[in-house]
Structure 1
Amino acid sequence: MFSLNFSLNFVLMSSLFLIKVSHQETVLAKYVKVELNSGDLMPLIGLGTSRLNEQELVRNSLDFALASGYRLIDSAAVYRNEELIGKALKELLPKYNLTRKDVFITTKLAPYDQGETAYMALERSLKNLNTDYVDLYLIHSPRVVGVNLSDSQISQRRDQSWQQLVRAKKNGLTKNIGVSNYDIEHLSELLKNDHAVKPAVNQVKWNPHYHQDDLLRFCQKEGILLQAYSSLGGTGDKDLLNDEEIKKIASKLGKSPAQVLLRWAFQENIAVIPKARSKEHLEQNIDLNFIIPEADMKILNSINRIPLP
């Protein structure tokens, strides 16, 4: 069983990011928060909501999630569920004696809104979510969709988007801003002209079969938190969960393959937002109170399927 007994503001893990606990008490993994480069604290574990786009499904998933201890909800304009999430939270927060400030809400700028319209896109998302602000607003992709542009024009659109996100942060529409699916080239471009605000988070695909270690090192060097999606392989992809090495480690530890995959990222100081619909899986995914031994961490790090350069 993994538990932590530390005093206030003790650094829980050694990395560029301070992972803080409160008071002298046993702290479960689901309550661990990471300090972003803005100084704000973000839960290291959250709920992904991609493909949750029916009211009853969203409501039940959030109900189970809040009951299990999830305090981060990740959405996006392209998921088409912001309004459903807003309605569900309006009902469910009082049920658990929570207020808006008790939950960390992330949403994302759609690729078709890249450019000068990014500010208006965030205003639209806030209206859908029924909130005055989000805790984190991400550019969902470095791509631009819906128009035929040259590479230089796409680069200009990304810069315009970032300027609008900086403006939104200054005006209180979002507490933090970041990016998603950015590689080192995109991040380097942004950091050369970040308009005085560095991205707080880069949300990317990340699991033992797919991890770009050079990207992680770059983000750590720049003080950007890496947040993983597809930690369990992604919708319809069972390769990870059926990987024999992962199943062996899970069996040895008395955990599920999903728990091992999430704990692997957690021990690397990488935030996770696994998707789940059932109460059982939601509870399982946030129950990460164990340690993967170093030898097994090395095995998990060695099964990367991205070819070496």
Structure 2
Amino acid sequence: MASDVPSVLLKTGARMPLLGLGMYKLCGGEAVLRAVDASLAAGYRAFDSAAVYGNEADLGRALRELLPKYGLTREDVFITSKLSPQDQGEKATEGALRSLSNLALDYIDLYLIHWPGTRGMDVGDKRNPGNRAQSWAALEELHAQGKLKAIGVSNYTPAHMKELAANCKVQPAVLQVEFHPLECQSELRRVCRDSGVCFQAYTSLGRGELLVEPEVVRLADHHGRTPAQVLLRWAVQQDVAVLPKSCDPERIRANGRIFDFALTDADMDSLTALDRGHKYCWDPSQVL
């Protein structure tokens, strides 16, 4: 079954779909199976999990059951997972291998350090930079072994990105952060653009609050689209990969219909003008 989802070229040479299913808070074997089934039917080929989501094993089981249904193989899908903050530092190798085991995969397409801090440590703890460096070295080794095809980070600030770039052997392939019209992350996007790092968004819909933002609703009405489609289109039209989350098959299908229309330059500018540095999720700026 072919997919019409465009992709972005990572510095590893692999291609990552611009659209994937976000799996945060998607729990339970049946719920995961239903969401993955609807996603594959709608053309999704990327799935974003994490150790802290508690659904890696459910995702692995769903893929084993459903890929044959759609005539797909492991190589047809792009799987992302993330290192738990409790495994930051000396337990990073163990944490990454646990993700591989939970997913029951020979390799993970993209593995991210989920958070720049360490669980149980204060954000200002001076051990955080060393723990990050130790985690990255572990991921580099697993990348060299072919177990992690690409490695990257999530929730890093410009300062964290510059620190990593100055001290790593393998540059990160992806940065995944909160991104939507109220939080455009201009400085982070410049850092990624200058270093060839793919910029990937989460919380594209502002935890649902942006679906009733007047300008978003106006543009949705104008284009005959849903507010979610407008928000997702605004991102992918800037070559930003998105990970909308839903367990509802119809919403999954609707969220996937973002590549058959375009926003005008004026539309794009009107959404970008909403930027005020507003975060709906955690703020990593205080993590030393």
Matched, 1:202 2:172: no
- Report SS of the residue matched to 2:200: strand
- Bigger helix share: 2
Give CA deviations for 1:164-200 in whole Å, capped at 9, x if unaligned.
Answer: 0000000111100000000100001101101x21000
1:138 to 99, 103, 112: 112
**Pairwise CA distance, 1:77:** 0.1
Secondary structure of the structure 2 residue equivalent to 1:156 = helix
Counterpart AA for 1:246: V
Aligned residue number for residue 224 of structure 1: 197
Displacement of 1:147 in angstroms is: 4.1
In the alignment of these two chains, the number of paired residues is 276
Matched, 1:165 2:135: no
2:239 is equivalent to residue 265 of structure 1:
no
Q: Percent identity between the aligned chains? A: 47
Matched residue SS, 2:58: helix
1:57 Cα deviation from its structure 2 partner: 0.4
2:101 corresponds to = 127
Supply the AA of the counterpart residue of 1:185. A
1:301 paired residue among 257, 272, 280: 272
SS at match of 1:217: helix
Q: Deviations over 1:126-177 (max 9, x none)?
A: 1110101100000000010124686431100000000000000001111000
Q: Deviations over 1:193-251 (max 9, x none)?
A: 01x210000000000111211111111011111100000112xxx32000111100110
Matched, 1:249 2:219: yes
Measured after TM superposition, the shift of residue 116 of structure 1 is 2.0
The amino acid across from 1:305 in the alignment is R
- Give the AA of the match of 1:144: T
Mean CA deviation greater in 295-304 or 145-154: 145-154
Structure 1 counterpart of 2:152: 178
Amino acid at match of 1:297: M
Which residue pairs with 1:67 in the alignment? 41
CA distance in 2, matches of 1:267, 1:87: 33
Name the SS for the 1:186 alignment partner: helix
8 Å Cα contact 2:115-2:154 kept in structure 1: yes
* Structure 2 equivalent of residue 9 of structure 1: none
How many angstroms apart in 2 are the aligned matches of 1:210 and 1:201?
Answer: 18
How many angstroms apart in 1 are the aligned matches of 2:177 and 2:123? Answer: 24
Aligned partner of residue 31 in structure 1, secondary structure:
coil
The one-letter code of the counterpart of 2:246 is A
Counterpart check, 1:80 vs 2:54 = yes
Matching residue of 2:253: 283
Which runs of 5 or more residues in structure 2 are unaligned? 279-288
1:44 equivalenced with 2:14 (yes/no): no
1:305: how far off?
2.2
Q: Which amino acid aligns with 2:211?
A: L
**One-letter code of the match for 2:157?**
D
Q: 1:160 to 1:223 in 2, by over 3 A?
A: same
Of structures 1 and 2, the one scoring higher in RCO (CA 8 A, sep 6+) is: 2
Structure 1 counterpart of 2:5, from 31, 55, 74? 31
State the distance in 1 between where 2:221 and 2:167 align: 48
Aligned Cα root-mean-square deviation (Å): 1.4
